[in-house]
Amino acid sequence: MVQYLVRRLVIAVPMLLGAVSIVFFAMRILPGDPCMAMMGDQATTEALADCTKNLGLDRPLLVQYVDYLWRSVQLDFGTSLREGYPVREYIGRMFPHTLVLVVASAVVAALVGIPIGIISALKRRSPLIDYPLRIFALLGLSMPVFWLGILLLIFFSLRLDLFPLIGGGDLDGVLDMIRSGEFLSHPADFLAGVGDVLYHLTLPALALGFTLAATVSRLSRSAMLEVISQDYIRTARAKGQRERAVVYKHAFRNMMVPLLTIIGLFVAIALTGTVLTETVFTRPGLGKMLVDAIGARDYPLAQGAITVFTMIIITVNLAVDMLYAVVDPRITYK
Amino acid sequence: MIDHPVPLTVMLAERQRRRAISSRAEPRSSSRPGPHHHERGKSMSSHHRSPWLLALVGALAVCVLAGSVPAEAQRKKVVNIAAKEPDTLDPHTSILGQTQAIVRFMYRGLTRFAIKDGKVTTAEVEPDLAESWTLSSDGTVWTFKLRKGVQFHKGFGEFTAEDVKFSFERQMNRAPGTRFGVNLGVIKSIEIVDPHTVQIALKAFDPIFLLRMVGYQQGYIVSKKAVEKFGDQYKWNPVGTGPFYFDRHSPREKVVLKAFDKFLGGRPQIDEVQWFDVPEDATKLIGLEKGTFDLLYPEAVTADFADQVKKMGAVIDRRGPGGQERFYIDMTKPPFDDIRVRRAFMHAIDRKAIKETLYPGDLARVASSCLPPGYFGHVPMTFPEYDPEKARKLLAEAGHPNGFTIKNYFISKSFFYPKVLTLAQEQLRKVGIIVELQVVEHATYHENIRKNLDPFVLYGGTRITDADPWLSLFFDSKEIPDPATGNKGTNFAHYRAIDDLLAAGRVERDVKKRAAIYAEAQKRIERDLVCLPLSDVPGQWARNPKRVSTPFDPDYGEFSLHYSYNYPELLKVLN
């Protein structure tokens, strides 16, 4: 197991290197450059030359690349060209917001999607149950997150006034309290802070979670359908086990392996979903930051954000592979 | 004892303050929209029920709150603005509209646009940080007497001639990141006569020098001490002499500004400005209706947007001259090198239809000249009227009886560009000119049009409000873009016929003669058919009039450049 883990981590290095290299060169291949994006229609030849020099973009591409790699190894992603903040600090500030959104949406998606998938598979011969559930899945698949987001905002924020319109809550404050240990000395403050974060998180997590739940329900439905047609399920039933035991003891655990694979993919889908969710709900976060950075050709910021995205996806996939062995003891790693 | 329902945000803010005091920690920046609608009761509509979740979380907070919320937290006058996030708060380093708009709250220039008959005019300037000025008889030396006792924010001391010299020289010397040095290229040297007198010598007479000194872009005065102290970090540690000072920035969330007690015009009535980063116009509108926001800086004011604003009882503050959308036709590129084809192009474009589709009614005006109204020297021009039949005839005469196809026509995917081009594409198709569009990122568009890849170019923009900078930028032969030489100018028409007039205008001191020169320039442009202006689109913000007032008429009561409110200190919160 440890050997496998080490091997996977070693393989992750060239993967990461490949990803950051692709991003580095892809950003430079894109027409337009940061100076042009910053100056727009006021870019004179002289001003552009000044700007390019000041940003170090007049150096040969290979020199820039080696410099970038060397600094990345030291986890120094440079400084945002547009806003001037150190990229590491900037990403560090945005990352928790995106992380809580992804985790919360994953929870919503799992809590809604898996039961719906299972019920839909088990009751596939009851149109009154299966059809509405499948329609729900179809709705989730076809409704873009920004549209659902706006509907939720109009209904729950504007009309019912239950939730806030914008912001991510005082997550920085909560994290500060955890770091400083203040959450022990001021538990009520801490809980109020957490409540505030959850209060701001509810609608975005519902919007993103619902669209993801649709995918999860479809996939868990087909996973369950596959499992319950297996011989050992028939055997379990033939032994006279109760349906509940058949489903939860025999079928559910076996469908977890394909479902875990889905969850690995799911993180990638959720991360891309954060871009629109963060924009519609006006939350700070990596997704919105990345899109703005690409639009402004803010190379260091875009590269830093994509490196972090890549690291997350590699880590989650690794964790999923590890979990296979936990849910299915027949799987071992050597 | 709490006398009345207290919003969660106020409670949290108070508790944070207490915690900060008790633990000597810095107050944390909060992402919550400052004073929520709950405390104001002045939203556009009346959807105000006590939220259960708020109550639940609030209950937790109440447990730790001893005593009532201080009265000042209740009384604080806060304006919440929904716009995009500025990229910097150093006024000399960004061209973005939202940055230009927010820095006006913090900085001032030597001069400002004058208020005449209750309107802010572009025609005259009046003293601001300078109390008076004189011009030498040869027209090349300006002597400014500065106001005494003007203070910079955050204890950075009194504003002096040192700061004036520094503010302009950093731009003239092209300090990294500065963008507007080109507008100060006319200055030869700056001399400090005494702490409150500065002499600016010019290379030659400049008819628009006082306009260059207006608090806008290059004209803002920054604190020398602060820029030297903060260096690269100045962009998020701005120090000016404006009515509001910078308090804090939570990236991708908001910028908070606070009233400056020592502002030269007296402390503004508003205590705090919260500038939220809200990229989506739909979210902005919901926020205006809900009462979360008081002022909106929209990406684009469409008919839908204006309708919704009107329905909810809000107003749109329209500020001329705003931006102009227009086509430049590259007169060197076949088939447009034939004036008949350019004329046919103009006959094919229904300007009124484009304007009415995109900006129905009073959202914009059909443009009347390639030099927009509001700019010194503007005279109305005439353009070939919409007549597709005539266009087809002209094309046939020019040897294109079946029209022609323009392949790979690049257009930006942002702002008004794709909308205008799609409409124009359909109109041109009717006369046989087929335009095959390639929609690209805005930055790519800017790159491609400077490589002369588009035979006609759609463009917008706002400049110093005088014919000289405007016409020089778009019609001076020095500005013809050329990939071979690296010239990235904006004379997309490749026009050379008014160079002499531009040169004459730059040295002419008689106002009437200058006006005549630019009238002649517009006549030549009209004759040569190289520019077709479409719409004059004013700067437009939406405002909740129950919450915030301005002394100027919503309808063109104020001239604005990128900012909408020339005098943010005159905005008032109504309660």
Residue with tokens 């007049």: A58
Nearest CA in chain A to B444: A32
Three-state SS at B374 = coil
Q: Does B31 sit within 8 Å of A171, measured CB to CB?
A: yes
User: What residues in A contact B275, CB-CB < 8 Å?
Assistant: none
User: What residues in A contact B445, CB-CB < 8 Å?
Assistant: 32
B74 touches chain A (CB under 8 A): no
pLDDT of residue B37: 38
Q: State the best of A58, A161, A201, A288 to mutate against chain B, taking most chain B CBs within 10 Å.
A: A161
B408 touches chain A (CB under 8 A): no
Q: List C-alpha distances in Å: A148 to A268, B211, B370, B404.
A: 20, 48, 44, 44
Q: Does A288 sit within 8 Å of B252, measured CB to CB?
A: yes
User: How many angstroms separate the CA atoms of A207 and A216, rounded?
Assistant: 14
pLDDT of residue B96: 84
B227 touches chain A (CB under 8 A): no
User: What residues in B contact A298, CB-CB < 8 Å?
Assistant: none
pLDDT of residue B52: 46
pTM exceeding the 0.80 threshold for the entire prediction:
no
DSSP string, B496-521: -TTHHHHHHHHH---HHHHHHHHHHH
Of A162, A166, A296, the CB nearest to B53: A162
User: How many angstroms separate the CA atoms of B36 and A164, rounded?
Assistant: 9
End-to-end CA distance of chain B: 25
Q: Does B279 sit within 8 Å of A168, measured CB to CB?
A: no
Q: List C-alpha distances in Å: B257 to B138, B242, B272.
A: 44, 11, 6
How many Cβ atoms are within 10 Å of A125's Cβ, its own excluded? Answer: 7
ipTM score of the complex?
0.77
Helix (H) or strand (E) holding B557: strand B555-560
Token readout for A167 is 């912001």
**Contacts (Cβ under 8 Å, ≥6 apart) of B417:** B411, B442, B445, B458
Residue B566 in contact with residue B320, Cβ under 8 Å? no
Residue B526 in contact with residue B382, Cβ under 8 Å? yes
Of B61, B235, B488, the CB nearest to A45: B488
User: How many angstroms separate the CA atoms of B533 and B493, rounded?
Assistant: 13
Low-confidence ranges of chain B (pLDDT < 50): 1-41, 46-70, 73
B181 touches chain A (CB under 8 A): yes
User: How many angstroms separate the CA atoms of B232 and B119, rounded?
Assistant: 39
CA–centroid distance for A256 within its chain: 20
B237 touches chain A (CB under 8 A): no
User: How many angstroms separate the CA atoms of B240 and B261, rounded?
Assistant: 13
Residue B395 in contact with residue B341, Cβ under 8 Å? yes
pLDDT of residue B28: 36
A281 phi/psi in degrees, rounded to 5: -90, 5
Residue A37, min C-alpha distance to chain B (Å): 5
Q: Does A168 sit within 8 Å of B31, measured CB to CB?
A: yes
pLDDT of residue A45: 66
Length of chain A: 334
Bridge partners for B573 per DSSP? B548
A152: amino acid identity, one letter: L
User: What residues in B contact A145, CB-CB < 8 Å?
Assistant: none
CA-wise closest residue to B427 among B368, B367, B347: B347
Residue A158 in contact with residue B290, Cβ under 8 Å? yes
pLDDT of residue A210: 86
Per DSSP bridges, beta strands B187-194 and B197-202 are: antiparallel
User: What residues in B contact A274, CB-CB < 8 Å?
Assistant: none
Helix (H) or strand (E) holding B412: strand B404-412
B461 touches chain A (CB under 8 A): yes
Per-residue pLDDT of chain A (334 residues; tens, 9 = 90+): 677 778 878 888 888 888 888 888 888 887 767 777 776 655 666 777 777 777 778 888 888 888 888 888 887 888 888 888 888 888 888 889 998 998 898 888 888 888 888 888 888 777 788 788 878 778 877 888 888 888 999 999 888 988 888 888 888 888 888 888 888 888 888 888 888 889 999 999 999 988 888 888 888 888 888 887 888 888 888 888 887 888 877 888 777 777 777 777 777 788 888 888 888 888 888 888 888 888 778 888 888 888 888 888 888 888 887 777 777 777 766 6
User: What residues in A contact B15, CB-CB < 8 Å?
Assistant: 189, 192
Per DSSP bridges, beta strands B272-277 and B78-83 are: parallel
Residue A141, min C-alpha distance to chain B (Å): 23
Of A41, A172, A195, the CB nearest to B57: A195
Of A46, A180, A195, the CB nearest to B60: A195
Of B49, B63, B95, the CB nearest to A188: B63
Residue A279 in contact with residue B279, Cβ under 8 Å? yes
Instruction: Report the half-sphere exposure of B197 (CA within 13 A, side-chain side).
Output: 7
Residue B392, min C-alpha distance to chain A (Å): 34
CA–centroid distance for A322 within its chain: 19
Residue A112, min C-alpha distance to chain B (Å): 21
pLDDT of residue A58: 82
Per DSSP bridges, beta strands B531-543 and B295-296 are: antiparallel
Q: Does B25 sit within 8 Å of A186, measured CB to CB?
A: no
Per DSSP bridges, beta strands B119-127 and B111-116 are: antiparallel
How many Cβ atoms are within 10 Å of B427's Cβ, its own excluded? Answer: 19
Bridge partners for B120 per DSSP? B115, B558
CA-wise closest residue to B195 among B231, B233, B147: B147
User: How many angstroms separate the CA atoms of A75 and A87, rounded?
Assistant: 10
Ramachandran category for residue A40: left, alpha or beta (phi over 0 → left; psi -120 to 50 → alpha): left
User: How many angstroms separate the CA atoms of B421 and B438, rounded?
Assistant: 11
Residues A80-94 as b/e (b if ≥16 CB within 10 A, e otherwise) read bbbbbbebbebbebb
pLDDT in tens, A69-99: 888 888 788 888 888 888 888 888 888 999 8
Q: List C-alpha distances in Å: B412 to A242, B347, B447.
A: 64, 24, 10
User: How many angstroms separate the CA atoms of B452 and B468, rounded?
Assistant: 24
User: How many angstroms separate the CA atoms of A187 and B116, rounded?
Assistant: 59
Residue B399 in contact with residue B495, Cβ under 8 Å? no
B356 touches chain A (CB under 8 A): no
Q: Does B279 sit within 8 Å of A162, measured CB to CB?
A: no
CA-wise closest residue to B303 among B261, B357, B222, B264: B357
User: How many angstroms separate the CA atoms of B70 and B91, rounded?
Assistant: 36
Q: Computed from CA positions of residues B354, B355, B359, B361, in that sequence, does the dihedral angle turn out positive or negative? A: negative
pLDDT in tens, B469-489: 899 999 999 999 999 998 888
SS (H, E, C) chain A: CHHHHHHHHHHHHHHHHHHHHHHHHHHHHCCCCHHHHHHHHHCCHHHHHHHHHHCCCCCCHHHHHHHHHHHHHCCCCCECCCCCCEHHHHHHHHHHHHHHHHHHHHHHHHHHHHHHHHHHHHCCCCHHHHHHHHHHHHHHHHCCHHHHHHHHHHHHHHHCCCCCCCCCCCHHHHHHHHHHCHHHHCHHHHHHHHHHHHHHHHHHHHHHHHHHHHHHHHHHHHHHHHHHCCHHHHHHHHCCCCHHHHHHHHHHHHHHHHHHHHHHHHHHHHHHHHHHHHHHCCCCCHHHHHHHHHHCCCHHHHHHHHHHHHHHHHHHHHHHHHHHHHHCCCCCCC
Residue B242 in contact with residue B264, Cβ under 8 Å? no
User: How many angstroms separate the CA atoms of B263 and B243, rounded?
Assistant: 5
Q: Does A163 sit within 8 Å of B12, measured CB to CB?
A: no
Residue with tokens 């087809």: B392
Residue A105 in contact with residue A208, Cβ under 8 Å? yes
B51 touches chain A (CB under 8 A): yes
User: What residues in B contact A296, CB-CB < 8 Å?
Assistant: 87, 443
Q: State the best of A44, A180, A276, A282 to mutate against chain B, taking most chain B CBs within 10 Å.
A: A282
User: How many angstroms separate the CA atoms of B488 and B473, rounded?
Assistant: 11
B475 phi/psi in degrees, rounded to 5: -135, 0
Q: List C-alpha distances in Å: B294 to B92, B135, B316, B443.
A: 28, 43, 12, 32
User: How many angstroms separate the CA atoms of A171 and A175, rounded?
Assistant: 6
